[in-house]
A and B are shown apart, each in its own frame.
Chain A
Amino acid sequence: MNHLLLLLPLLIPLYGAILCLFFWRLVRVQQYIGVAVQMGLLASNFMLLLYVNQTGIITTQLGSWPAPFGITLVADLFSSLMVLVSAVVGMAIYLFSIKGLDKARQTFGYYPVLLILQMGVAGACLTGDLFNLFVWFEVLLICSFVLIALGGSKPQLEGAIKYVTINFLASGFLLTGIGVVYGIVGTLNLAELAVLVRTPVAHPALITMAGMFFLIAFGIKSAIFPMFFWLPASYHTPPIAVSAFIAGLLTKVGMYALIRLFTLVFVLDQELTIPLFTVLAGFTMVIGVLGAASQNDFRKILSFHIVSQIGYMLMGLALFTPLALAGSIYFIIHNILVKTNLFLISGVVAHRRGSFALKKLGSVYLQHPVLSLLFFISAFSLAGIPPFSGFWGKFMLAKAGFEIDSFAIVFTSLAVSLITIFSMTKIWNEVFWKRKPDTDPMLDVMSEADQRVNRFLHVPVIFLVVFILFIGLYAEPVITMAQLAAEQLLNSELYINAVLKR
């Protein structure tokens, strides 16, 4: 049971991608395969979450090689939550790309690459081996490079080159860090690493130094303060389905790895790491949200907001209490759903208007009241207005901050929330509320076919909004699960015992 449940999130997309390769010329068949795969993934990942919730951390040793020698796959609550959310987002993206992506891109292997990307996300979340983590991040990097460059328009290539150059640098740091850790400790299995760094023989300063390599590497990959500039420069270039998936998910996978490593392995020198994280989190929030305030493009505003939201996730790690980590986990889940949805909504608007620039957009509310409502829910969820999901994440983080008297970071986060509302209001005013500049909005009517496509594009958005409303209005089970996950993260013994079978 363990073996199968842990492998399905990897095998289902892999087999889906292989099938898609066999039907390389038949895009229609690839679409059906994609949807079937997404349904299978949703089901299996939900089963995984239920099973982990019941029995605790589960592991499997690939190839039957025992733990410190072979590759281990581990699922605790945090990773299975990540995997489940990634499947939800994947479903939405698939539904969107069937109609929302141009035919030319679909014929050149969009579906297999997206499936492999999903496999990469699942792999990075489930692996229990440091080098394997690096490999999965390479899978992510390669697939997202292909997806960003697919189609080969000039801004896309420009964005792709920035993206890949900086991410190669990050991979270099990651590999160096892995090498240093292996040099110091002599193992790459996360559980054994966690045991060995806690022994008195280990040299804490050296291990912290190695940890800084990981901080830089995952900092670049998840766009933390001094290393975030590549993100707004590249995320707005590819077609909307691609940028929604990458923007929604990939930075959070980096964040996942950071939280995993800094709760499990690099926990010794907390006098150094916690202030560092606090400062980084504050700057990430502030700079991201200020950048967003200065932008005038739908997608660029959203891209800068990714950076600012990453700050909140880092804040949970910086406070380092169970409640704060639970807040971080809840916030990651909420943010993946909401951010993807906002990107998709910008895609629906752009499908109608052919532009992302705020100047050219307008009067969407007049023509698509439903879409406006959906945007309203997602945007205010992002800003953290009470009944919606963003509120609970921020509330948990703020409460955790007050509990340990770190007022500075809490007030920063609250102020940033205010500016987030300002940005969302700006989008609302410019895109939905104001009258569209040059033309009379009632005059430009869509053709019948366009209308059908537009209606179809609402489906994934509604699908995601249902989940956003669920984790907002019925937050208790999710928060409980996030708290359990945080406890598992802080109790490294659980993880170590599960993997090493002691």
Chain B
Amino acid sequence: MKTLILSVAIKLLIPVFIVFSLYTLFRGHNHPGGGFIGGLIGAIAFVFHTMTHGPQQTVDTFLKVNLYGYPRQPNQSRSLYLMRMMRVNVWRRRRKARQPNLNEKMIRLEPIYIIATGLLLAASSGVVGLMFGHPYMHAFWADFYIPILGKPGTPILFDIGVYLLVIGVVLKITFVMSEE
């Protein structure tokens, strides 16, 4: 489904979806929201991208990480370097689009690894309590307060795990369905 309107709109909307999903994730402990809903909202962005550009493009754009970067110059600041890296990545992606069989070393973030990471985080958030002789999933809270995000504690690890898990599952389902 290639429509110009949707593809332009989704380009603008992806950051909105991501930011809103993160907001939902972090307010979830005491208000409506949380990992599950946040993950679903975050997944919408990728689902729309897949609907407009196809699964291969989504994977190329979001889920591939280039390992071999351009070396950082000694007098270059880290942020400048990161921006440069992003530009290099975009440039490489374009080159890849022109020459599809160009073989470059990339790590492909399979949805299954996102799922596994999410599960690992969620399961491990409970183990923290176990290690200090409390029951499983005993919550530890920090004493300080971060504006907007709130008070950090081990339950947020669980929520982040669920967030990643949901994104991974939805991505996997979307990719499988759209390839058929």
A contact residues, total (Cβ < 8 Å): 16
Is B134 a contact of A11 with CB atoms below 8 Å?
no
Given A3-B130, A3-B133, A14-B123, A63–B115 Cβ distance below 8 Å? no
In the complex, which residues 1-34 of chain A have their Cβ closer than 8 Å to any Cβ of chain B? Answer: 3-4, 7, 11, 14-15, 17-18, 21-22, 24
Q: Report the nearest B residue to A14, measured CB to CB.
A: B123
Interchain CB contact (< 8 A) of B135 among A14, A17, A63? A63
Given contacts A4-B130, A22-B116, A61-B135, 20 further A-B contacts (CB under 8 A): A3-B134, A7-B136, A11-B127, A11-B136, A15-B120, A15-B123, A18-B116, A18-B120, A18-B123, A21-B115, A21-B116, A22-B113, A24-B110, A60-B135, A62-B136, A63-B126, A63-B129, A63-B135, A64-B129, A64-B135
Sample of 14 A–B contacts (CB below 8 Å): A3-B130, A4-B130, A7-B136, A18-B123, A21-B115, A24-B112, A60-B136, A61-B135, A63-B126, A63-B135, A63-B137, A64-B134, A64-B135, A64-B137
Residues of B within 8 A of A22 (CB): 113, 116
Residues of B within 8 A of A14 (CB): 119, 123
Report the separation of the CA atoms of residues A63 and B110 in the bound assembly, to the nearest whole angstrom.
32
- For residue A285, give the distance in angstroms from its CB to the closest CB of chain B: 41
Residues of B within 8 A of A61 (CB): 135
B 126-163 to A, binary, CB cutoff 8 A, 1 in contact else 0: 11011001111111000000000000000000000000
Residues of B within 8 A of A17 (CB): 119
Residues of A within 8 A of B123 (CB): 11, 14-15, 18
Is A18 a contact of B119 with CB atoms below 8 Å?
yes
- For residue B70, give the distance in angstroms from its CB to the closest CB of chain A: 29
Q: Which 7 A-B pairs have the closest CB atoms?
A: A21-B116, A63-B137, A64-B138, A7-B136, A18-B119, A60-B135, A3-B135
Residues of A within 8 A of B110 (CB): 24
- For residue A104, give the distance in angstroms from its CB to the closest CB of chain B: 17
Q: Report the nearest A residue to B121, measured CB to CB.
A: A18
- For residue A482, give the distance in angstroms from its CB to the closest CB of chain B: 29
- For residue A218, give the distance in angstroms from its CB to the closest CB of chain B: 27
Residues of A within 8 A of B130 (CB): 3-4, 7
Report the separation of the CA atoms of residues A21 and B115 in the bound assembly, to the nearest whole angstrom.
8
Report the separation of the CA atoms of residues A425 and B127 in the bound assembly, to the nearest whole angstrom.
52
In the complex, which residues 26-53 of chain B have their Cβ closer than 8 Å to any Cβ of chain A? Answer: none
Residues of A within 8 A of B139 (CB): 63-64
Residues of A within 8 A of B120 (CB): 15, 18
Report the separation of the CA atoms of residues A385 and B59 in the bound assembly, to the nearest whole angstrom.
62
Q: Report the nearest B residue to A6, measured CB to CB.
A: B136
Is A63 a contact of B136 with CB atoms below 8 Å?
yes
Report the separation of the CA atoms of residues A3 and B115 in the bound assembly, to the nearest whole angstrom.
27
Is A62 a contact of B119 with CB atoms below 8 Å?
no
- For residue B49, give the distance in angstroms from its CB to the closest CB of chain A: 24
Report the separation of the CA atoms of residues A22 and B117 in the bound assembly, to the nearest whole angstrom.
8
Report the separation of the CA atoms of residues A18 and B136 in the bound assembly, to the nearest whole angstrom.
18
Is A62 a contact of B135 with CB atoms below 8 Å?
yes
Report the separation of the CA atoms of residues A18 and B134 in the bound assembly, to the nearest whole angstrom.
24
- For residue B112, give the distance in angstroms from its CB to the closest CB of chain A: 5
Best-surrounded residue of B116, B129, B133, B138 (most CB of chain A within 10 A) = B116
Q: Report the nearest B residue to A8, measured CB to CB.
A: B130
Q: Report the nearest A residue to B112, measured CB to CB.
A: A24
Is B112 a contact of A21 with CB atoms below 8 Å?
yes
A 433-449 to B, binary, CB cutoff 8 A, 1 in contact else 0: 00000000000000000
In the complex, which residues 40-65 of chain A have their Cβ closer than 8 Å to any Cβ of chain B? Answer: 60-64
Residues of A within 8 A of B116 (CB): 18, 21-22
- For residue B122, give the distance in angstroms from its CB to the closest CB of chain A: 10
In the complex, which residues 81-99 of chain B have their Cβ closer than 8 Å to any Cβ of chain A? Answer: none
Report the separation of the CA atoms of residues A470 and B134 in the bound assembly, to the nearest whole angstrom.
38
- For residue B5, give the distance in angstroms from its CB to the closest CB of chain A: 37
Report the separation of the CA atoms of residues A64 and B141 in the bound assembly, to the nearest whole angstrom.
14
In the complex, which residues 50-99 of chain A have their Cβ closer than 8 Å to any Cβ of chain B? Answer: 60-64
Residues of B within 8 A of A64 (CB): 129, 134-135, 137-139
Given A3-B130, A15-B123, A18-B120, A62–B137 Cβ distance below 8 Å? yes
- For residue B164, give the distance in angstroms from its CB to the closest CB of chain A: 12
Residues of A within 8 A of B112 (CB): 21, 24
Report the separation of the CA atoms of residues A62 and B130 in the bound assembly, to the nearest whole angstrom.
10
- For residue B160, give the distance in angstroms from its CB to the closest CB of chain A: 15
Report the separation of the CA atoms of residues A61 and B112 in the bound assembly, to the nearest whole angstrom.
32
Best-surrounded residue of B129, B135, B138 (most CB of chain A within 10 A) = B135
Residues of A within 8 A of B135 (CB): 3, 60-64
Report the separation of the CA atoms of residues A22 and B133 in the bound assembly, to the nearest whole angstrom.
29
B 100-128 to A, binary, CB cutoff 8 A, 1 in contact else 0: 00000000001011011001100100110
- For residue A1, give the distance in angstroms from its CB to the closest CB of chain B: 9
Residues of B within 8 A of A63 (CB): 126, 129, 135-139
Q: Report the nearest B residue to A59, measured CB to CB.
A: B135
Is B136 a contact of A3 with CB atoms below 8 Å?
yes
Residues of B within 8 A of A21 (CB): 112-113, 115-116, 119
Report the separation of the CA atoms of residues A15 and B138 in the bound assembly, to the nearest whole angstrom.
19
- For residue B150, give the distance in angstroms from its CB to the closest CB of chain A: 19
Q: Report the nearest A residue to B116, measured CB to CB.
A: A21
